[in-house]
């Protein structure tokens, strides 16, 4: 599989990202050690110029890394399914060996770390005194490790794919239907628990975001519970109404064109909500170092979180409500 053109593109782009980050790590070492905002000598001027260069490199690399998550998912969901026998979607393609889904989870988790750096970099560049330098550059080290690990696991995944081996695609789970042909809401205690948690956490989060301008740590905790329960509720209940199939719990097919790419809307919303809640916490942590920027920005992030939460609550409910019972 290492000779496949899509695989080569992914590996080459990831390798280039790692090379750029290696240079950024080397350049940031001196910034971390010698940065002195109270000095105005030649060394400090050089460090400020170097800081701008490092920040720009890391910024564009991380933007690409976030985009590469969706690129990788698209390759797994559309291209690899044509190459690997038996794989009907990304579930079968990624499940062909032990590295596939671990790589996807690694990419998904790393995005949140990238968001932290990008937001801190934005805040730092918005202030003339660069109050978050060199603090933000400490994040480059774990980011470098994540990108390097991403490349290693990606190589292992593609190298260990055997096209002649028939993959096992996503399993199905049959649920007893109701008298009128609708799926039972209380199909199992497991599903019911996630649905209840989805509704309760979503309602609490909406109220907190609307009425409180503080309690950002609590919002982040409730938001994490809401996002987790929303994903499980989508997988084990709402996704059936998108497909019109009571036995199909796969989350990968919702990224297909025949389902209007609604998966990108769902998971894009989850990431927007998580990122905005994380940014609210970061603003709260570093507000003493920031100027007049943070109150207005905090207000914008609150409303972004509020409306995103509402959309993520009502969007799956809309599929459930408008399903006409046909398969």
What integer pLDDT is reported at residue 134 of this predicted model? 85
Question: Per-residue pLDDT tens for 123-144?
Answer: 988 888 888 888 899 999 999 9
Domain ranges of the chain: 5-159, 189-322
SS3 228: helix
Residue 206, classed as helix, strand or coil, is helix
Q: What is the pLDDT of residue 326?
A: 60
Which pLDDT value is given to residue 188? 58
The angle formed by the CA atoms of residues 49, 17 and 82, to the nearest 5 degrees, is: 155
Contacts of residue 44, Cβ cutoff 8 Å, sequence gap at least 6: 35, 36, 37
Neighbours of 280 (CB within 10 A): 25
Q: Round the CA-based radius of gyration of the chain to a whole number and report it.
A: 23
User: Which residues make beta-bridge pairs with 177?
Assistant: 183
Q: Per-residue pLDDT tens for 210-231?
A: 998 889 999 999 999 999 999 9
CB count, 10 Å around CB of 12? 10
Task: State yes or no: pLDDT of 121 exceeds 60.
Answer: yes
- The CA–CA distances, whole Å, from 293 to 90, 135, 153, 253, 300 equal 43, 19, 40, 42, 11
pLDDT digits (tens, 9 = 90+) for 82-113: 888 888 888 888 988 999 999 999 999 999 99
Which of the residue ranges 146-155, 161-170, 285-294 has the most confident prediction, judged by mean pLDDT? Answer: 146-155
Task: Report angle CA 251, 208, 280 to the nearest 5 degrees.
Answer: 75
Average pLDDT over residues 28-49: 82
pLDDT of residue 180: 41
Give the per-residue pLDDT at 325. 59
Q: What is the pLDDT of residues 169-187, one digit of tens each?
A: 664 434 444 434 444 444 4
Signed CA dihedral, 41, 42, 45, 50: sign only: negative
* Mean pLDDT value of segment 71-88: 88
pTM of this structure: 0.88
When pLDDT is cut at 50, 70 and 90, the band that residue 301 belongs to is: very high
């Amino acid at each position: 599989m290492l000779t496949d053109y899509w695989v080569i593109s992914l590996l080459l782009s990831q390798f280039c990202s790692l090379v750029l980050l290696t240079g950024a790590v080397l350049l940031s070492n001196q910034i971390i050690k010698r940065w002195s905002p109270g000095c105005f000598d030649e060394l400090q001027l050089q460090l400020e110029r170097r800081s701008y260069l490092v920040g720009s490199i890391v910024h564009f690399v991380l933007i690409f890394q976030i985009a590469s998550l969706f690129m990788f998912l698209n390759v797994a969901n559309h291209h690899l399914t044509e190459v690997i026998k038996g794989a009907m979607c990304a579930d079968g393609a990624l499940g062909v060996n032990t590295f596939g889904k671990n790589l996807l989870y690694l990419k998904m988790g790393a995005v949140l770390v990238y968001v932290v750096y990008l937001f801190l970099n934005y805040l730092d560049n918005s202030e003339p005194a660069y109050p978050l330098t060199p603090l933000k550059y400490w994040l480059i080290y774990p980011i470098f490790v994540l990108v390097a690990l991403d490349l290693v696991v990606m190589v292992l995944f593609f190298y260990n794919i055997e096209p002649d081996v028939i993959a096992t695609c996503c399993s199905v789970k049959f649920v007893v239907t109701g008298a009128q042909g609708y799926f039972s809401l209380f199909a199992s205690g497991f599903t019911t628990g996630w649905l209840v948690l989805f509704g309760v956490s979503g309602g609490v989060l909406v109220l907190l975001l609307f009425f409180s301008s503080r309690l950002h740590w609590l919002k982040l905790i409730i938001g994490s519970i809401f996002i987790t329960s929303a994903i499980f509720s989508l997988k084990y209940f709402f996704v059936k109404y998108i497909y019109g199939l009571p036995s199909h719990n796969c989350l990968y097919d919702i990224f297909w064109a025949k389902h209007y790419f609604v998966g990108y809307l769902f998971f894009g919303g989850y990431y927007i909500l998580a990122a905005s809640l994380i940014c609210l916490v970061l603003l709260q942590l570093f507000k003493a170092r920031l100027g007049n920027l943070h109150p207005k920005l905090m207000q914008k992030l609150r409303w972004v979180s509020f409306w995103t939460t509402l959309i993520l609550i009502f969007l799956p409910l809309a599929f459930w409500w408008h399903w006409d019972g046909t398969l």
